[in-house]
Copies of this chain bind each other. A is one copy, B any other.
Amino acid sequence: MAPHPGKLKPATKAVHVRNLARRFATKTILDGVDLDIEEGEFVALLGRSGSGKSTFLRALAGLDHGVEGTGTLETPESLSVVFQDARLLPWRTVIQNVTLGLRGSSGQEAGRKALAEVGLAGRETAWPNQLSGGEQQRVALARSLVREPALLLADEPFGALDALTRLKMHDLLRELCARHRPAVLLVTHDVDEAISLADRILVLDEGRLIEDLKIDLPTPRDHGDPSFAQTRIHLLSRLGVELPGRKAA
């Protein structure tokens, strides 16, 4: 692929991807992905297990040193990643993990506040391995949010959370988006979650984005709304779930 480093997109595009391909050995994972995300846009990415969602996120974050591939990528420098695993440094306390690399007492303060927002006030000095799975995930979320990035890449950040905590985290994320308007790319397995949060939903399959759906429902979105249900059924069918009368979890 010919490089086009000169053709910078207008600054309103937060993410600009053209013809992105990634391969592991003989297996092609991404096969010509094109994507633009506007500033402040909230995009959800769905896809089967093993379809390449994490691979795509890692490419966007520039973490795939040494992975074979081609394509053009443009992202803001200020981006933040919530990894699929919580990825807390085991040798730093919870608060140290949140404020990693932040400077001064304002960083400390912000870290403490973010921890409280994810419901972990008072656990500042615990070691990561003293937390439950969901608690670890929330610390990782707090670590990303406290940085107020221009682009937030989140790989199933709510996977280990119960219904109530999950709703709280949705509210937290919405609030953050309203305040700082970051572009968000959220990987999730929960179709309802995608519909209720995102402006746009992508489905990745066989290395390509086979679906790019604008969601034009009013917020807050009602799960009972017929168009909500219709969108759900459409997306599930794109994911291969075609069971009328049986609603996927």
Q: Name A residues whose Cβ lies closer than 8 Å to a Cβ of B.
A: 24, 46-50, 53-54, 84-85, 130-135, 138, 155-156, 159-167, 189-193, 196, 220, 222-224, 236, 239-241, 243, 245-249
* Contact yes or no, A223 B241, CB < 8 A: no
User: Are A162 and B84 within 8 A (Cβ)?
Assistant: no
A46 CB contacts on chain B under 8 angstroms: 162
Answer whether A84 and B160 are a contact pair too, CB < 8 Å, given A50-B132, A134-B49.
Answer: yes
Q: Which chain B residue shows the least CB distance to A235?
A: B163
Beta-carbon contact of A193 and B130 below 8 Å: no
Known: A222-B245, A245-B222. A160 touches B159 (CB 8 A): yes
> Contacts A138-B49, A241-B167 given: A161-B189 contact, CB under 8 Å?
yes
B246 adjacent to A164 (CB under 8 Å): no
Alpha-carbon distance A241/B54, docked complex (angstroms): 31
Scoring A84, A134, A246 by chain B CB atoms within 10 A of each residue's CB, the highest score goes to: A134
Query: Which residue of B has the minimal Cβ distance to A50?
Result: B132
Instruction: Assess the B134–A164 pair: CB atoms within 8 A.
Output: no
> Assuming the A-B contacts A133-B156, A167-B241, are A48 and B246 also in contact, with contact meaning beta carbons closer than 8 angstroms in the complex?
no
CB <8 Å contact, B160 and A49: yes
Q: Are A240 and B164 in contact (CB under 8 A)?
A: yes
Q: Using Cβ atoms and an 8 Å threshold, which residues of chain B touch A192?
A: 247, 249
How many whole Å from A56's CB to the nearest CB in chain B? 11
Shortest beta-carbon distance, A132 to chain B, in Å?
5
- Contact check: which of B130, B164, B243, B245 meets A48 at CB < 8 Å? B164
Q: Is A49 a contact partner of B135 (Cβ separation < 8 A)?
A: yes
A243 CA / B223 CA spacing, docked (Å): 11
Q: Could you list 24 A-B pairs, sorted by A, with CB under 8 Å?
A: A24-B130, A47-B162, A49-B132, A49-B134, A49-B135, A53-B132, A54-B132, A54-B133, A85-B133, A159-B160, A161-B189, A162-B189, A162-B239, A163-B191, A163-B239, A163-B241, A163-B248, A164-B239, A166-B248, A192-B249, A220-B246, A222-B246, A223-B245, A224-B247
